[in-house]
């Protein structure tokens, strides 16, 4: 590994390695191999088209992050940023263990991924621009004075969600509640409201962003992925139910 420490004058961040050592592994489960593979899958689900969205994976004291504003289905392991964990989620003072040698910038979602790592001890966080998530934010919690949340109950896929995203599994009898925050012109400016929503809704496994998408996390990348799949299914189905005039608050008796 090239251990020369340099200061990036543009971003005022510290970079210690621009070689590929931290992102080269024959192991398909290495985060630098997984992120490109998972992003390709998310692209085909319509979750990360047009460059937005993605996934970050934390492996103990290292966080792996994809580049910003690139075709997420075409990312290579050599495009991945590696950051030490923990560190403040401050944009100005960010420290990197490894940056790509070609001119790329880390995902604008980095401070939001960090909120899930810091506040939920998550090991992976997924951001999607799924139209199902966006439709859910347009149909729930949007009336004057209404609590800004998505709610649904009485659907089997709720069992695929964990309390707080990282604890025990929810039951078929439970109501799923996901807070909705308002969008901002710049992704990184969502950080404080996402952190507040995570604190206000400690049982929620995700945060929806109005007219934008959703952030979902888990204690492993596998659980972040399956919860993102269950939530997306529930957003899609609940939207269809609401549009068909079917009660989405029906709850089975205990
Ligand atoms: C058309 S994408 C708009 C920006 C956005 O919502 C986003 O998620 C950007 O993520 P990136 O990882 O490309 O910085
Ligand atoms: Zn986004």
CATH of the domain at 154: 3.40.225.10
Single residue among 107, 135, 163 that ends a domain in this structure? 107
CA torsion sign, 246 to 247 to 248 to 254? negative
Residue 94 CB-density burial (10 A; 0-12 exposed, 13-18 middle, 19+ buried): buried
ipTM rounded to 2 decimals: 0.99
Residues 127 and 236 reside in one and the same domain: yes
Residues 17 and 34 reside in one and the same domain: yes
CA–centroid distance, residue 252 to ligand 2 (Å):
35
Residues 125 and 217 reside in one and the same domain: yes
Residue 146 CB-density burial (10 A; 0-12 exposed, 13-18 middle, 19+ buried): exposed
Query: How many structural domains compose the chain?
Result: 2
Mutation to probe ligand 1, out of 47, 52, 94 (largest number of atoms < 8 A from CB): 52
Cα(57)–Cα(39) distance, integer angstroms: 12
Residues 97 and 113 reside in one and the same domain: no
Residues 208 and 97 reside in one and the same domain: no
Q: Which residues are annotated as a binding site for substrate?
A: 109
Residues 94 and 123 reside in one and the same domain: no
Cis peptide before 127 (omega within 30 of 0): no
Residues of the domain holding 16: 1-107
CA–centroid distance, residue 212 to ligand 2 (Å):
6
Q: Which residues are annotated as a binding site?
A: 109, 127, 129, 212
Residues 118 and 206 reside in one and the same domain: yes
Band the pLDDT of 12: cuts 50, 70, 90: low
Residues 90 and 149 reside in one and the same domain: no
Single residue among 51, 82, 107 that ends a domain in this structure? 107
Convert the pLDDT of each residue in 60-104 to its tens digit: 999 999 999 999 999 999 999 999 999 998 777 899 999 999 999
Residues 247 and 137 reside in one and the same domain: yes
Band the pLDDT of 175: cuts 50, 70, 90: very high
């Amino acid at each position: 590994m090239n251990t020369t420490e340099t200061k990036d004058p543009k971003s005022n961040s510290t970079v210690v390695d621009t070689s590929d050592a931290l992102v080269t592994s024959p192991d398909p489960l290495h985060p630098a191999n997984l992120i490109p593979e998972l992003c390709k899958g998310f692209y085909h689900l319509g979750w990360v088209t047009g460059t937005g969205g993605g996934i970050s994976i934390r492996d103990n004291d290292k966080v792996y992050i994809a580049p910003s504003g690139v075709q997420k289905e075409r990312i290579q392991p050599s495009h991945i940023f590696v950051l030490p964990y923990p560190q403040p989620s401050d944009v100005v003072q960010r420290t990197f263990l490894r940056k790509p040698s070609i001119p790329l910038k880390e995902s604008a979602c980095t401070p939001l991924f960090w909120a899930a790592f810091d506040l939920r001890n998550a090991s992976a966080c997924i951001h999607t621009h799924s139209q199902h998530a966006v439709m859910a934010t347009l149909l729930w919690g949007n009336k004057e004075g209404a609590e800004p949340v998505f709610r649904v109950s009485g659907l089997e896929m709720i069992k695929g969600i964990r309390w707080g995203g990282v604890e025990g599994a929810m039951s078929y009898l439970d109501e799923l509640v996901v807070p909705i925050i308002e969008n901002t012109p710049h992704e990184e400016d969502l950080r404080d409201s996402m952190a507040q929503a995570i604190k206000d809704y400690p049982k929620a496994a995700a945060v929806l962003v109005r007219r934008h998408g959703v952030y979902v996390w888990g204690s492993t990348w596998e659980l972040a992925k399956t919860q993102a799949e269950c939530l997306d299914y529930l957003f899609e189905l609940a939207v269809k139910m609401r549009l068909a005039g079917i009660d989405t608050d029906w709850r089975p008796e205990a």
